[in-house]
């Protein structure tokens, strides 16, 4: 990778947790860690990237509050180093330095909603259906007229066709 800049590491969260309600000792420590990069990517663009990670370390036996206060830097650094956070976060930052980024301040064009369109019937099917409908109407009319003729010619029960 061809880029230049500076990596900065910092603890952004250090929260001790008491062992019990009587606050007799420190049971664990929540540690949050940042890796920031400021510099230029391989295209000469200025980039500023920050990655974060956190975790919890426990103490057995519990630590005294005064001991934790006097050694917080060593304890936090030892935990971060033991978790390989320096290398892990630096690798995450490196992956993002030349990666694609979303376009900021893009003036989006308003798009019309797409209407659902049913498939068009083929013209001959439509005509075929129309012809069948007309033939059915003509047949029904012929049957009606035939019944009327038979009724007029004979006094018997009308003959249905």
pLDDT value of position 108:
67
**How is residue 60 written in tokens?**
């057995």
Task: Please state the rounded mean pLDDT for residues 109-138.
Answer: 62
**How is residue 137 written in tokens?**
């109407």
In this model, does residue 72 exceed pLDDT 80?
Answer: yes
- 31 forms bridges with which residues in the sheet? 14, 55
pLDDT value of position 104:
75
DSSP-based helix, strand, coil % in the chain, nearest 5: 40, 30, 30
Task: Please state the rounded mean pLDDT for residues 40-69.
Answer: 93
- Reduce the DSSP state of residue 129 to 3 states and report it: helix
Prediction pTM value: 0.59
> Residue ranges per domain, the chain?
4-97, 118-161
**How is residue 128 written in tokens?**
């075929």
DSSP letter string over 81-120?
A: HHTTHHHHHHHHHHHHHTS--PPSS--PPP-PPPPP-PPP
Tell me 22's DSSP state: T
d(CA 51, CA 101): 16
For residues 37 and 5, the answer to whether their CB atoms sit within 8 Å is: yes
- Reduce the DSSP state of residue 157 to 3 states and report it: coil
């Amino acid at each position: 990778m061809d880029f230049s800049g500076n990596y900065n590491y910092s603890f952004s969260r250090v929260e001790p947790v008491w062992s019990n309600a009587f606050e007799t000792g420190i049971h664990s420590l929540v540690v949050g860690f940042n890796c920031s990069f400021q510099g230029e990517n391989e295209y000469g663009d200025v980039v500023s990237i920050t990655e974060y990670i956190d975790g919890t370390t426990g103490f057995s036996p519990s630590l005294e509050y005064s001991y934790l206060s006097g050694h917080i830097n060593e304890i936090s650094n030892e935990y971060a180093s033991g978790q390989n956070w320096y290398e892990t976060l630096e690798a995450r930052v490196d992956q993002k330095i030349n990666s694609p980024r979303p376009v900021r301040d893009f003036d989006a064009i308003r798009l019309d909603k797409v209407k659902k369109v049913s498939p068009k019937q083929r013209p001959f099917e439509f005509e075929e259906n129309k012809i069948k409908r007309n033939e059915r109407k003509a047949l029904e009319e012929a049957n009606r007229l035939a019944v009327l003729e038979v009724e007029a010619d004979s006094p018997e029960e009308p003959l249905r066709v």
